[in-house]
Amino acid sequence: MARTDLWSGLLLTLFGALIFWRASTFPSMAGLVYGPGLFPSIAAVGLMVCGALLLVSALVVQGRTMAAGASDRAEADHRPSMDRRRAGARLAALVLIVAGFGLALEPLGFHVTSILAITATARLFGLNLLRALCLSVPLTFGVHLLFYSVMHVPLPWGVMTPLAW
C-alpha cells in the first residue's frame, strides 16, 4: 500500500502541477476579474495538496515499516486478494458513476444528477443513505451557488427547468 500510495501521490502532485501550469496559460476574459483558468487552477491546487498528503503519508508508513523489520514489510505488501477485488469493483463502480454523471447531466440537470452521483459515491465508500443524502444535497446546492450564482457559469437544469431562477 505504501509503495502504491507513494507513486499515486507523486503522480497526483505532478498531474496537478501540469494542470496548474496549463491553466495559467489560458487567456483572460474582458470584463471579468477571473478567467477560464480559475477553476482548473483551484482544482490543480487541490490535486497537488492531496498528492502531497498521500506522498507524505506513504513515506511515513514506509519509514515505520522499514523500522519494524523485514517480516512486517513482507506482511504489509501481501494483501488478501479479496481486498484487491473489492478495490477493483469499487474503482469500476466509480468509473460507472462518473460516466453516468456525464450521460445524465444534460437530460436530468445538474441538481438531480449531482445528488444521485454524490449519494452513490458516498454509499460506495460506506456511508449510510441518510448520511449520504446529508452530504450530497448541501454539497450540490453549494456547488450550484458557487458556479451558477457567483461565477455565472450556466449549469443544465434538466427536469428542474421550471424551477430555474
d(CA 63, CA 160): 52
27 found inside a domain: yes
pLDDT, residue 134, reads: 95
The domain total for the chain is: 1
Task: Return the DSSP state at 34.
Answer: S
pLDDT, residue 3, reads: 72
Beta strands in 17-69, from DSSP E residues, in sequence order = none
Are residues 55 and 9 in contact, defined by beta-carbon separation less than 8 angstroms? yes
d(CA 3, CA 9): 10
164 found inside a domain: no
pLDDT, residue 18, reads: 92
How long is the chain?
A: 165
pLDDT, residue 153, reads: 82
Per-residue pLDDT of the chain (165 residues; tens, 9 = 90+): 567 788 888 999 999 999 999 988 888 777 777 778 888 899 999 999 999 999 999 888 888 878 777 555 555 555 566 677 888 888 899 899 999 999 999 999 999 999 999 999 999 989 999 999 999 999 999 999 988 888 788 889 889 888 877
5 found inside a domain: yes
Task: Return the DSSP state at 151.
Answer: S
62 found inside a domain: yes
72 found inside a domain: no
d(CA 140, CA 150): 14
118 found inside a domain: yes
**Which cell is 8 given?**
499515486
Q: Which of 162, 102, 115, 120 is nearest to 141 (CA)?
A: 115
pLDDT, residue 72, reads: 55
Kindly tell me the burial class for residue 12, based on how many C-beta atoms sit within 10 Å of its own C-beta (0-12, 13-18, 19 or more).
buried
Are residues 121 and 127 in contact, defined by beta-carbon separation less than 8 angstroms? no
73 found inside a domain: no
35 found inside a domain: yes
